[in-house]
A and B are shown apart, each in its own frame.
Chain A
Amino acid sequence: MAAASEVSVRAASAAELLQGRRTPPSDAKRRRRLTAIGNHALAITFAVMFVSPFVFVVLTSLMTRHQALSSDLWPHPFAWGNYRTIFRDAPIVRYAWNTVVYATLASIGVVLSSVPVAYALSRIRWRGRQAVFLIVIATMMLPAQVTIVPLYIIFARLGWLGSLKPLIVPAFFGDAFSIFLLRQFFMTIPEELIDAARVDGANEFQIMWNVVIKLAKPAIAAVALFQFLYAWNDFFGPLLYANNNQNIFTLSVGLQNFTTAHRAVLFNLQMAASVLFMLPVIIIFLFAQKAFIQGITLTGVKG
């Protein structure tokens, strides 16, 4: 729509040029320009509100300890050594590795386990399907607190506390949000394609593998990304199940632990740690933005 009106504006000015006369800007035109300026001013104001915290955090991460406690806004001198100090004072590499292992395996698990479930809930007809789907949705609404006490005990009995297993293994048994998102997408695949495969004698597994998954790549990518991000950000899970075993701390628990130990006096190092922690996901976002936005829209609008 925006593009179309741009084209018409351009066409209009071309017409003016051809006629060899430029009319003075009419009232309507001036009003339109003022509206445009107002619109952008508002949008830019919001942009400043959203982006400025990043600027301050990055700048502070480059200040000396003393300067970070002052109200200075610009680092002088630039203390690049803060980032080295972080790596020296906290086992960041260890934390990062744990986080990557957790996030990667959990993403794989969620995709492997949720795709067939979403397929059965959208593309196979069976009695009780709707009821089961409602239960899947209901589990999404269930506060995690209602299940953690027995889960903690189960994982303790299995000897999994202090390892990443309580975080990774459940991901291989379907994730309600991912099932929901995938189902919404699978529903949009035209029935004819699936019927055609059925007529050709394909069984359900073949249809899922050859037809549905091929068409649903963007949705699967979105699910994997969301899960990766969820695991990357997850704080409560690692806090609960790490059982104070520093060797399996993820970045979230590790950095929280690190800053609580030096609370409020080392803003520069805290900010450096925060920058390190947020950088990877921001880079992922900038590259995979489309999948993110589509995934969110899919769950939000059609929900």
Chain B
Amino acid sequence: MAIAVTKDATTAERRQLRRRRGRRRGLVILAFMSPWVIGFLWFYLYPMLATLFFSFTKYDGIRLAPHWVGLFNYRALFTNDPLFWKSLANTVWIVAIGTPLQILFALAVAWALTRPRRGQGIYRTLYFLPTMVPAVAAALSFIYLLSARGPVNSTLRLLHLPDPNWFLDPAWSKPGLVLLGMWGVGEAIVIFLAALLDVPAHLYEAADIEGASTWQKFRNITLPMISPVIFFSTVIGVIYGFQYFTEAYVVGLGTGGAGANAGGLGSPNGSTLFYTIQLYHQGFEEFHLGYASAMAWVLFLIVMVCTMALIRSSNRWVYYQGGFR
């Protein structure tokens, strides 16, 4: 630095060097991020916007170019499509009743799993096993398990309990699907179990000294401490609940008949016609791509509103320990 240079030149050079280094750094980061950036543009951003555009058009994807029809699809959905409302009602049923039931069940099982001192590992493995079963295989299994002469109804008859027709009875088909869902709640069990075991023991010890009952301990210690995990499971459960497809599709076709008009989709009697099944039927069996796109955006908005509402409500019932987030 002993060379005589004007002060201006040095700062300019330095600035340039820094800029060059900054640009290099930017390029490195971009290189690391590039798979996701391309994927995001290709598989998320463009398709989302294109779906929005298609939702204002009549489009069959093959012969015709998209033909602008304004709000026609949306108006038809809301005013002139009983199957849309039916599928929405079924989906809300699954989200509002099925999802909470599954979370409660998973919580109960996880709690039971914290109790025994030995064998926890074996129990956990057994509880998790059904979660590994592919959805199609699980659905096919339950078609048999819940059939008229299947083991579930045989047992119910043995106990002189009512033996519903499950997947053949519109009133019982959704409860049957909830049972199928409960069989595979292993992931939630594992998450709840980890959270339950994470609750500091000294809190329980302090409560014991004050003579708290089991219920009081659960209500005032366990529940607040694991509320972040319950919240997480609820958000995920709601998002996936709205997209419920495979099990219902397999059960509907497996017990009803092939082809939408043979009563297969949503069988019996439309009781398992869920939103995504109706969307699939409109989009990829009837090739009403504009109409299906409108359905997709309506679904997206519903899911967004529900997720936002859950997040809003969380500061009233979710307890974050210091240091968490």
Contact = CB atoms under 8 A, between A and B. Distances in A.
Q: Which 9 A-B pairs have the closest CB atoms?
A: A173-B39, A300-B191, A113-B35, A174-B36, A147-B47, A120-B32, A150-B50, A39-B115, A150-B47
Interface stretch (B5-13, B69-77, B95-103, B123-131): B123-131
Contacts of A5: 117
A96 interface: no
B135 A173 contact: no
B123 A300 contact: no
Contacts of B87: none
A39 to B, nearest CB: 4
B118 A256 contact: no
Interface of A: 1-2, 5-6, 36, 39-40, 42-43, 46-47, 50-54, 56-57, 60, 68-71, 73, 112-114, 116-117, 119-121, 124, 126, 132, 135-136, 139, 141-154, 156, 170, 172-174, 179, 203-205, 208, 229, 232-233, 235-236, 240, 251-253, 255-256, 259-261, 263-264, 267, 270-271, 273-275, 277-278, 281-282, 284-286, 289, 292-293, 296-297, 300-301, 303
B36 A73 contact: no
Contacts of B137: 255, 273-275, 277-278
B33 A120 contact: yes
A255 B136 contact: yes
B320 interface: no
14 contacts: A2-B118, A6-B117, A42-B115, A51-B126, A56-B151, A143-B303, A145-B300, A146-B51, A147-B51, A235-B246, A256-B253, A260-B253, A286-B125, A296-B191
Contact of B44 (A42, A142, A286): A142
Interface in B243-283: 243, 245-246, 249-250, 253-258, 264, 276, 279-280, 283
Given A145-B296, A256-B253, A282-B129, 13 more contacts: A2-B117, A39-B112, A43-B119, A46-B112, A71-B149, A71-B150, A147-B43, A147-B51, A170-B43, A251-B134, A260-B254, A282-B132, A301-B194
B239 A116 contact: no
B239 A146 contact: no
B122 to A, nearest CB: 8
B116 A149 contact: no
B171 interface: no
A42 B123 CA distance: 11
Contact of A173 (B32, B38, B133): B38
A174 B35 contact: yes
A46 B293 contact: no
Nearest to B46: A150
